[in-house]
Amino acid sequence: MLDKIDTSKKLSKEIYSKKFDEQSVRLGFLQRSIREAGIPVIILFEGFRGAYRSLLISKVISALDPRGYRVYSSSKTTESQKKLPFFTQFWKELPAKGQIAIHHRAWYFLRNEHDVGDPDEAAEWYHVNFDEINGFERELACGGYKIIKIFTHITRKQQEKNLAKSEDDTASRWEALTPGGIEGIDYDAYRDVYEKMLAETNTMYAPWHIVSMEDRRAGICDVMDVLAAELEKTLKSSSAGSKKEQLAYEPDPTVPDILSRYTCYQEVDEKVYSEKLKKYHKRLAELQYELYKNGISTIVGFEGWDAGGKGGAIKRLVAPLDPLGYRVNPVSAPSQLENQYHYLWRFWTKLPGPGEIAVFDRTWYGRVLVERVEHFTPVMDWKRAYEEINSMEAQWVKQGILVQKFWLQIDKDEQYKRFQARENDPAKTWKITAEDWRNRDKWDAYVDAVNEMLYRTDTRLAPWTVVEANNKQYARLKVLGTMIDRMEKALRKES
């Protein structure tokens, strides 16, 4: 791809000055239009060292309202960030609706440095493959994000000239401060890596725009033209299809009735319950310490019917744990802030630190449960979510995080009894709302949604455990016993 790029284009200072001023006005107008339309934009700069990416970013932001953008650099990745799943920092850096995130190299920098073999950059954590990158970009694009990727190209001769004067040139001296510095850069090695990157990640969701920076003035104007054209195209597309069609949906007949395999009531003796609870609590306290010492993080997600006993199960799970090592995250309808981002953003931003435990009282599966049944999300979006969620959980497990998911299963009669009990107990009336009764009227639709959720997202890496929960004591013991078993397996695998 790089052989086809014209590197002979030049602009005089006078023509450049006039054109840049016009482009700046145009880009400023488009930024305001993007903000009004509520479109989040990601602009990513990648390319050869010495190709003036920092200068390009400075020129671009000179045309923008500083309240509407933020600039990020992957060369500033910290050691603590490297202990989290690869894409975590980029999820945290997503722009809100109407905002712009500008990335100096981003996820490609980490991937490419690994391939070139720079000793200061090569690490297993960087080794994300291009399929994972394409999946990440596709997920964001389908979630409403506009991704503009710009590759800055220069010849070997021009790179040598640029790097030679980096100590004296303010626009390029920062190159010497980047990881790996500017000494011993192998142009051919990077070119081979870039050619592969461009070929494998030039997708319809996030195509590459290759710009020659052989002449700085010509390159700057070309970049401004690319940005303006892409933003105008996005605004036009957004205006034409601002409302997604809500298609009718019939349950997939190939999805098995998984819930019918479980008998909701399971007996447990009171004395057995007390003895096992004490034993499990002692073991959980020990395991929390061992997991923390080994840096193994844990994510526990609870889903289930209203009044299914999630709160009680969570309370017994965390009771023996050191509160400094875990956090319970209650999940309800997205807040005004959370609605400004991709639906998975609020979960990526709550990942546990190394060796810590994150418990979610309801989870990312709301996308394929309540949002599906209540028609909050178009069919095409929640159907796509199964793959997105599986990918997210696989990335967590790849980083060494233990992921466990529980569905608390009660029957319809038991739910009615618990609803009545809550309404009749002054201490528990806060637990029951009119919405709970409305959801109960859609029991069959929820059964279909739960069955499909279990069918499509019960994976080897992140399995579901269906908990027979009519008997609360049995349910709590099953949750604790399952957690202990998986924690012990994780420790054995680590050793």
Estimate to the nearest angstrom the gap between the alpha carbon of 27 and the chain centroid. Answer: 29
Q: What is the pLDDT of residues 286-320, one digit of tens each?
A: 999 999 999 999 999 999 999 999 999 999 999 99
Q: Does position 241 have pLDDT exceeding 80, yes or no?
A: no
Q: Choose the weakest-confidence range: 19-23, 79-83, 333-337, 424-428.
A: 79-83
Q: Does position 490 have pLDDT exceeding 90, yes or no?
A: yes
| Band of pLDDT at residue 247, cut at 50, 70 and 90 | low
pLDDT of residue 183: 47
Q: What is the pLDDT of residues 7-18, one digit of tens each?
A: 999 999 999 999
Q: Does position 113 have pLDDT exceeding 70, yes or no?
A: yes
Q: What is the DSSP letter of 44?
A: E
Q: Does position 31 have pLDDT exceeding 60, yes or no?
A: yes
Per the CB < 8 A criterion, the answer to whether 111 and 197 are in contact is: yes
Per the CB < 8 A criterion, the answer to whether 15 and 218 are in contact is: no
Of the candidates 333, 363, 361, which has an alpha carbon nearest to the alpha carbon of residue 347?
Answer: 363
Q: DSSP 3-state assignment of 104?
A: strand
Please report, as a single letter, which amino acid is at residue 278.
K
pLDDT of residue 184: 53
- Site of tokens 């990918």: 391
| Band of pLDDT at residue 163, cut at 50, 70 and 90 | confident
Q: What is the pLDDT of residues 209-225, one digit of tens each?
A: 999 999 999 999 999 99
pLDDT of residue 255: 97
Q: Does position 78 have pLDDT exceeding 90, yes or no?
A: no
Please report, as a single letter, which amino acid is at residue 264.
C
pLDDT of residue 118: 54
Q: What is the pLDDT of residues 385-428, one digit of tens each?
A: 999 999 999 999 999 999 999 999 999 999 999 999 999 999 88
Q: Does position 273 have pLDDT exceeding 70, yes or no?
A: yes
Please report, as a single letter, which amino acid is at residue 156.
R
Which pair of structure tokens corresponds to residue 33? Answer: 């239009």
**Residue 320 exposure: Cα atoms within 13 Å on the Cβ side:** 18
Residues with Cβ within 8 Å of 481's Cβ and at least 6 positions away in sequence, in order, are: 276, 280
Q: Does position 167 have pLDDT exceeding 50, yes or no?
A: yes
Which pair of structure tokens corresponds to residue 443? Answer: 């029991």
| Band of pLDDT at residue 82, cut at 50, 70 and 90 | confident
Alpha carbon distance 350, 85 (integer Å): 12
pLDDT of residue 185: 76
Q: Mean of the pLDDT values across residues 475-487?
A: 98
Cα-Cα-Cα-Cα dihedral of 382, 384, 387, 390, to 10°? Answer: -20
Q: Does position 436 have pLDDT exceeding 80, yes or no?
A: yes
Q: Choose the weakest-confidence range: 92-101, 233-242, 296-305, 312-321.
A: 233-242
Torsion sign across C-alpha atoms 448, 453, 456, 460: negative
pLDDT of residue 435: 87
pLDDT of residue 75: 76
Which pair of structure tokens corresponds to residue 353? Answer: 């630190």
- Max CA pair span of the chain: 89
Q: What is the pLDDT of residues 116-161, one digit of tens each?
A: 765 454 455 567 889 999 999 999 999 999 999 999 999 999 999 9
pLDDT of residue 200: 96
Alpha carbon distance 86, 128 (integer Å): 7
Alpha carbon distance 419, 471 (integer Å): 15
Which pair of structure tokens corresponds to residue 347? Answer: 């979960």
| Band of pLDDT at residue 180, cut at 50, 70 and 90 | very low
pLDDT of residue 122: 46
Beta strands in 420-492 (DSSP E): 464-468
Rg (CA), the chain: 27
Average pLDDT score, the chain: 92
Please report, as a single letter, which amino acid is at residue 245.
E
Q: What is the DSSP letter of 353?
A: P
How far is CA 280 from each of CA 275, 276, 320, 427, rounded to the nearest angstrom? 9, 6, 9, 29
Q: Mean of the pLDDT values across residues 427-450?
A: 92
